[in-house]
Amino acid sequence: MSSTNNWNPEVPGQDVRLKSNPGKRGQTTGRIRRLGNRILVEVEFGPAEKIYRPKNLLELCCDDESIEGLMRQGRFGGPDDLRRILTFEKVKGQLTNVFYSMEASQTDFYPHQFKPVLKFLNSPVGRLLIADEVGLGKTIEAMYIWKELQTREDARRLLIVCPAMLRQKWQDDLRQRFNIFADIVDAKELLRRVRLCLEHQKPQAFVCIASLEGLRPGRNWEGIKAANARDELARLLDANPSSESLSLFDLAIIDEAHYLRNATTASNQVGQLIRDATKHLILLTATPIQTDSSNLYQILRIISPDDFFNADIFNNMLEANEPVVHALRHLWASPPEPAKAREALQRASTSGYFADNPLLEQIQQSLSSLNQVDESERIELGYKLEKVSLLGQYITRSRKRDVLSNRVKRDPQTLEVRFSSLEQEVYDRVSEYIREQSKGKKGAPLFQLISKQRQMASCMVAALEAWQNDASLSALVDEALWEDFGKIPEQRSTSPLSVATPSALKKVNIRELESCDSKYSELQGFLEKELKKNSNEKFVIFAYFRGTLKYLQRRLEAANISNCLIMGDMGDDKWTAVEQFRQDNGPSVLLSSEVGSEGIDLQHCRFLINYDLPWNPMRVEQRIGRLDRLGQPAERISIINFSLVDTIEERILERLYDRIQIFRESIGDLESILGQATEKLLVDLFSADLTPEEKEEQAVLTSKALINKRLLQNELETEAVNMLAFADHILDSINQSRDQGRWLQPDELLAFVEDCFSRYYPGTLIEPKPNEPKLYNITLSEQAKIDLQFFIGKNRCATPTQLHKSGRPVSCFFDPKISGSMGKRNELLDPTHPLILWIRERYTTSEQTLHPVSAIKTQVDETDLSSGLYAYSVHRWTFSGIKTESQIAYKIIRIDDGHVLSDQDSEAILSTLMKQGQIKPNAQNFIEDIDGVLACLLTCDAHIDTAFNQALEDFYIDNENRCNIQEKSARAFAERKQRELESRLERFRQAGKTQIIPATEGQLKKVKRELEVKLKNIQEKRDDLTCEPKPLAAGVIFVEAKIG
């Protein structure tokens, strides 16, 4: 077609565009109007945009729509066209080097929290153990991974399993931080949703939170008749392992995963069933992964029983993996030591675990030609070695000392308490009575009795009041076990233990006991003294017993010390109380249980008061972690403890914690050792008939052993090999991704939506709400509502919306960081929202209308470029194999001397210019030599092509490695399931359970069939690897000297 004005406007269906904006395209309808000598042509720019435009402002779209053709014709767009193209590529959700979870929540940015995201996205198995220390944000990290899966894979079904006491915490976190409204469900409700999933071709979306305790099946769950919903759910999960066609869950997250370590428990059985039924799996635990490899082995068996099927294999893998970690350490040495890295990898290659590993061979080949390693080579080799590591694909761990540069100092202080004669008498009577009751008892019954004793140490008045109201060990005891010990009973007792209050104590005058409460008097005196120094000071007081917290609330109110209270299961009231506490004129004291404080940031406060001390040191660390966490502005926090001089067990505990310095520094990798030691000591103190002197001696021995282990651990950290060897370059690369804008930013999404509506749906309104700059009222045109409703009906979108239903404006926001204060009435428009998904499809079907050529002007002081003319080129690379990867490649060249900018600088400059640059009108008139510009573009493309060829080689090797791993995993999984089912069949035959045999045989056939399908799919992905390099955009940049 000709691009001149010599064309017939009365011919319908001609592709035309605006001369002033070549990206604005439409088709003629064949209708015209005449105004004197002027001709107005009706053009359909979209389904609801038919507008008459002067013919002299229009032109026919050219036959030569190539980048070179458009540039020779001078058809330059502006920075908006470049932004539209690059934002569309981001919104597609396919870019490998873009974080779709970054800045996607009401959380602060910390680079270490994206280490698990990187690890997970690179994993060939889709399973990961996140073992960060307390206070580093494991919950946030897991949800970042969910956001990635939502965007990249249209993930719809998330199951979170945690101890019952943490369900509310998870629900609050998801709502406050991620604008995700999750349902807390029991086994019956989860069973109903799983059944619906199996009944529908495209199952409904859900986010469910269930307790580990509530999902445990009975011992005979495999039988033909399920005894209850838990057994029935177990059978359904067992019968429907994840397959190519369907997974019951897109992601399962199991919190406090150390409860799964014992292979003989029902909790472990739940973990196995969920693991096999979900497409992706994340386990969360603060359990150390260095000092106690047996703990690591037990958890890794949940992650991948086919790789870690016995302890010997695990230890062999550790030994085989050691040279790989040594190679990593040599690469991170300063300066790098490539020769030593080569030697280490040569040792690794002799192991059967690395036989015929194409990625290891490629790394060895790269190192063989290197005597020196520059930074980019070191980073690239480091990433590849992480993929080779036998454990690296399954585990990620961050420690405070590694990721926090300015750590808060802990300043402990002890308030000594001596009982009055009445208090001492009551305490001694109860202690003697409980010791008598505990003789011969073990396990849960013993801990329930100890829990009674611990309530007395927490607050005598509150304990006696609770016992008089309820003499049985009810659900309050289970909560106390969790708060105090961090324990959940593996199975509930069928006949609840009851401990009557000693008859002598029924005569105790509780009010008299309250009047001489020595412990409370110390607390009130301390608070009044500190508030006199600073009336705006804030204090957090922790206690594990609800009765203690309510008692303190009443006493403090009587003393005119303002306070608020948070405990578990408070719902929205908890957040209201916390918000009041945060206000400068709010309450001075926050009373809290561990569960009540879970998920709440209290770093604006610098005083922590332990009104009682839990016997599990991790509970102490978690308390301190509420204040000693990311964002604490104070250089030091004060930790106030009570020393109960007249209680042997409490005094022993306080001295033990002081010796191991838990109040001065994080216990880090000693977590599990401390927990086991203090628990054993406590049982010994209560169950053994020891004198006070013998108890002291036992405690001294325990503390000495722990101190020795701490010294040993410090030596290991200095000298020994770190199994994971994560280096600083990971955090640097994450920071770089953020600086480069490799995340979907709110202003990009807003412009993306506004562009679509202005181009295709005039009449749609997007208006900022008065006095609320981040909120927008959106009213769709009727045609937009129809098209959106059709899209939603066709795709059954996971996120609900009112945009296509409401006759009124719908309040929306684009910035996820304000999610916590928005609620359900305001819709978050993120990449998973139906509106964004619909617009993405709309652009996909009309991608050719995106104008690829731009002329952008900027000034010297707005970039790091010197004045002059530059050319740029942007390509998209797509590689498809067992995994599909896409990335954007950028290159800029200075035209006058041919200087080529680095990939990083090119990306950074274009990311800035697409937002801040200006269109250069009539750019063709300022280009003296278009052939020279095009030659420079060819140079840009040549550089991009060279990088593409290297990326293709890397992808080929990585794809081969992934296929090998997945094939091995598929065969091992099928073999394990076949063994399990064949063993089950044999048991059924021996027991005469003939009714259930046909169903089990059907499961066996299904496993064999699924294996064949899986192997065929893997082979196709191995053989049919495809790549697609595609030029996306190109143009010129005019860098002008600053005027004036």
Q: Residue 270: its pLDDT value, please?
A: 94
Instruction: Find, among 775, 765, 784, 766, the residue nearest to 838 by Cα.
Output: 784
Q: Residue 218: its pLDDT value, please?
A: 86
- Span 769-782, mean pLDDT? 90
- Span 717-746, mean pLDDT? 63
Q: Residue 210: its pLDDT value, please?
A: 97
Instruction: Find, among 194, 123, 396, the residue nearest to 284 by Cα.
Output: 396
Tell me the torsion sign for CA atoms 832, 836, 837, 843. Answer: negative
pLDDT at residue 490 tops 90: no
Which H helix or E strand runs over 877?
A: strand 868-880
Most confident of 504-508, 588-592, 723-727, 1024-1028: 588-592
Q: Residue 479: its pLDDT value, please?
A: 59
Mean pLDDT lowest among 30-39, 489-498, 969-978: 489-498
Who has greater pLDDT, 934 or 472?
934
Q: In this structure, what are the phi and psi dihedrals at residue 632, rounded to the nearest 5 degrees? A: -70, 120
Yes or no: say if 210 and 161 are a contact pair by the CB < 8 Å rule.
Answer: yes
Hey, what are 795's tokens? 């795709």
Q: Residue 365: its pLDDT value, please?
A: 86
Q: Residue 705: its pLDDT value, please?
A: 64
Yes or no: say if 693 and 343 are a contact pair by the CB < 8 Å rule.
Answer: no
Q: Residue 671: its pLDDT value, please?
A: 46
> Is 646 buried (19+), middle (13-18) or exposed (0-12) by CB count in 10 A?
middle
- Span 903-918, mean pLDDT? 91
Hey, what are 894's tokens? 């200075």
In which band, very low, low, confident or very high, does the pLDDT at 993 lie, cut at 50, 70 and 90? confident
pLDDT at residue 609 tops 50: yes
Q: Residue 565: its pLDDT value, please?
A: 94
Which H helix or E strand runs over 697?
A: helix 692-719
Q: Residue 211: its pLDDT value, please?
A: 94
Who has greater pLDDT, 46 or 174?
174
Most confident of 9-18, 162-171, 421-430, 918-927: 918-927
In which band, very low, low, confident or very high, does the pLDDT at 680 lie, cut at 50, 70 and 90? low
Beta pairing class for 127-130 and 395-396: parallel
pLDDT at residue 477 tops 70: no
Per the prediction, the chain carries an average pLDDT of 82
Q: Residue 541: its pLDDT value, please?
A: 96
pLDDT at residue 289 tops 50: no
Yes or no: say if 597 and 173 are a contact pair by the CB < 8 Å rule.
Answer: no
pLDDT in tens, 110-154: 888 988 998 898 887 889 999 887 778 899 999 999 999 998 888
3-state secondary structure (DSSP) of residue 851 = coil
> Is 645 buried (19+), middle (13-18) or exposed (0-12) by CB count in 10 A?
middle
Q: Residue 720: its pLDDT value, please?
A: 31
Mean pLDDT lowest among 289-298, 344-353, 957-966: 289-298
pLDDT at residue 894 tops 90: yes
- Span 978-989, mean pLDDT? 86
In which band, very low, low, confident or very high, does the pLDDT at 719 lie, cut at 50, 70 and 90? very low
Who has greater pLDDT, 848 or 935?
935
In which band, very low, low, confident or very high, does the pLDDT at 79 lie, cut at 50, 70 and 90? very high
- Span 20-49, mean pLDDT? 82
pLDDT at residue 929 tops 70: yes
Tracing tokens 């001390």 back to the chain, one arrives at: 613
In which band, very low, low, confident or very high, does the pLDDT at 225 lie, cut at 50, 70 and 90? low
In which band, very low, low, confident or very high, does the pLDDT at 885 lie, cut at 50, 70 and 90? confident
pLDDT at residue 31 tops 60: yes
Which H helix or E strand runs over 191?
A: helix 187-199
Q: For the sheet containing 772-779, what is the strand order?
A: 765-769, 772-779, 810-813, 827-828
Mean pLDDT lowest among 422-426, 637-641, 842-846, 989-993: 842-846
- Span 212-236, mean pLDDT? 85
pLDDT at residue 790 tops 70: yes
Who has greater pLDDT, 486 or 672?
486
Q: Residue 368: its pLDDT value, please?
A: 81
CA–CA distance, 442 with 683 (Å, rounded to integer): 9
Hey, what are 146's tokens? 């969910």
Q: What percent of the chain has pLDDT over 70?
A: 82
Q: Residue 721: its pLDDT value, please?
A: 32
Q: Residue 673: its pLDDT value, please?
A: 44
pLDDT in tens, 408-436: 788 888 888 888 999 988 888 888 887 77
- Span 252-278, mean pLDDT? 90
Q: Residue 414: its pLDDT value, please?
A: 82
3-state secondary structure (DSSP) of residue 700 = helix
Q: Residue 504: its pLDDT value, please?
A: 53
pLDDT in tens, 301-331: 888 887 787 777 788 888 888 888 888 888 8
Q: Residue 1034: its pLDDT value, please?
A: 96
Most confident of 526-540, 711-725, 1004-1018: 526-540
pLDDT at residue 296 tops 60: yes
In which band, very low, low, confident or very high, does the pLDDT at 357 lie, cut at 50, 70 and 90? confident
Per residue, the 3-state secondary structure of 557-583, as one string, reads HHCCCCEEEECCCCCHHHHHHHHHHHC
Rg (CA), the chain: 33
In which band, very low, low, confident or very high, does the pLDDT at 596 lie, cut at 50, 70 and 90? low
Residue 359, number of CB atoms within 10 A of its CB: 19
Who has greater pLDDT, 503 or 77?
77
